[in-house]
């Protein structure tokens, strides 16, 4: 399907038609360019700002971000106000961690450090209710409108929720074709810093070895009708990496935006100081 024929209104209607939650899995698997911003400050205020800024999704980081589950609840509530549904990165590929964030209303989960097809199958199972998976069933949680939307949510959850596995090691790249073939895995998402370190070329994102790894992941996704994703270290890479087949992208973070903005203002002010 050509995503260009869909209007913004079409997307928003489809995203919210099931219960009160917004879902993006269909758009991601259709190959639409999906731009997200990382929320790593643990702040509901910055999540609210991101949701009002025109991005397609919010990446709430519970692995390296400063917030924990106590901060996640208000962040999820803030995300509900805007038009950018939240995908939450959990700390590790352990089933209990999926249940918490899914029950709070995540539209998807990002799982770090997935290196094998078996690990990918574990993640896909944790995302889904039986008989397709092992997710525990609860009626009175936020995702289900505290029981008000349970039947509607339960009926479609296994089809609506987005599963994003991170490729962050050379082993993960080598196993990318098998990982992409796992039913229920939707996105193979490169963590560029971890991957470059694993390849022995830290932060060398234009090194032929790194580019070859990117190509391998992108090809595996294309072969299996999955989406390729990546965190963009700076905007200079954006156009090139989109051309390489990456469509599910994190293009910055709230922490990075605040830090760079403050530094820029301080630099401008510094020009007026007397020496």
Q: What is the pLDDT of residues 8-28, one digit of tens each?
A: 545 444 444 444 689 999 999
Output the pLDDT for position 6.
46
Output the pLDDT for position 7.
47
| Surface-to-core class of residue 123, CB atoms within 10 Å of its CB (0-12 exposed, 13-18 middle, 19+ buried) | buried
pLDDT exceeds 90 at position 207: yes
- The pTM of this model reads 0.92
Is the bond leading into 97 cis (omega within 30 degrees of zero)?
A: no
Among candidate residues 47, 58, 51, the one with its CA nearest the CA of residue 87: 58
Distance of CA 243 to the CA centre of its chain: 20
Confidence of residue 125 (pLDDT cuts 50, 70, 90): very high
| Beta carbons of 45 and 244 less than 8 angstroms apart | no
Q: What is the mean pLDDT of residues 150-177?
A: 98
Q: What is the mean pLDDT of residues 29-42?
A: 98
Domain ranges of the chain: 23-261
| Beta carbons of 16 and 22 less than 8 angstroms apart | yes
Output the pLDDT for position 69.
84
CA dihedral 24, 27, 31, 32 (to 10 degrees): -90
Tell me the H-state helices in the chain.
Answer: 8-16, 25-29, 44-51, 69-81, 95-103, 117-126, 150-160, 170-174, 176-180, 192-198, 208-223, 238-243, 254-270
Asked about 64 being catalytic, the answer comes back as yes
Q: What is the mean pLDDT of residues 143-154?
A: 96
Q: What is the mean pLDDT of residues 44-73?
A: 95
* Residue among 12, 64, 209, 263 flagged as catalytic: 64
Output the pLDDT for position 182.
98
Q: What is the mean pLDDT of residues 138-144?
A: 96
Q: How high does pLDDT run on average in the chain? A: 93
pLDDT exceeds 60 at position 38: yes
pLDDT exceeds 70 at position 256: yes
Confidence of residue 237 (pLDDT cuts 50, 70, 90): very high
Q: Which is higher by pLDDT, 207 or 17?
A: 207
Among candidate residues 153, 146, 91, 92, the one with its CA nearest the CA of residue 128: 153
Beta bridge partners of 229: 189, 248
Output the pLDDT for position 2.
43
pLDDT exceeds 80 at position 264: yes
Q: Which is higher by pLDDT, 47 or 6?
A: 47
Name the one residue in this structure whose structure tokens are 């208000």: 74
Q: Which residues contact 10 (CB under 8 A, 6 or more apart)?
A: none
Confidence of residue 275 (pLDDT cuts 50, 70, 90): low
Q: What is the CATH number of domain 23-261?
A: 3.20.20.60
Output the pLDDT for position 259.
96
Output the pLDDT for position 68.
85
pLDDT exceeds 80 at position 269: yes
Output the pLDDT for position 70.
87
pLDDT exceeds 70 at position 153: yes
Q: Which is higher by pLDDT, 211 or 21?
A: 211
Distance of CA 47 to the CA centre of its chain: 14
Q: What is the mean pLDDT of residues 121-144?
A: 97
């Amino acid at each position: 399907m050509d995503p260009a024929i869909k209007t913004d209104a079409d997307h928003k209607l489809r995203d919210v038609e099931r219960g009160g939650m917004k879902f993006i899995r269909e758009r991601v698997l259709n190959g639409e360019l999906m731009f997200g911003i990382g929320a790593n400050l643990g702040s509901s205020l910055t999540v609210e700002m991101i949701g009002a800024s025109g991005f397609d999704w919010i990446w709430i980081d519970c692995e390296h971000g400063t917030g924990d589950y106590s901060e996640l609840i208000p962040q999820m509530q803030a995300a509900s106000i805007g038009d950018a549904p939240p995908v939450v990165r959990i700390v590790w590929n352990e089933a209990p961690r999926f249940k918490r964030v899914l029950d709070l209303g995540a539209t998807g989960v990002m799982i770090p450090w997935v290196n094998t097809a078996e690990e990918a199958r574990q993640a896909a199972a944790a995302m889904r209710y039986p008989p397709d998976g092992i997710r525990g069933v609860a009626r009175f949680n936020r995702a289900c409108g505290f029981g008000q939307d349970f039947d509607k949510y339960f009926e479609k959850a296994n089809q609506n929720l987005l599963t994003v596995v991170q490729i962050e090691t050379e082993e993960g790249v080598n196993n990318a074709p098998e990982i992409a073939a796992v039913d229920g895995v939707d996105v193979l998402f490169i963590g560029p810093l971890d991957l470059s370190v694993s390849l022995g070329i830290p932060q060398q994102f234009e090194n032929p070895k790194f580019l070859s790894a990117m190509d391998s992941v992108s090809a595996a996704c294309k072969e299996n009708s999955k989406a390729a994703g990546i965190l963009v270290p700076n905007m200079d890479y954006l156009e090139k990496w989109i051309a390489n087949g990456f469509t599910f992208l994190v293009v910055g973070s709230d922490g990075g935006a605040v830090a760079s903005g403050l530094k820029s203002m301080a630099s401008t002010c510094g020009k007026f100081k007397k020496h």
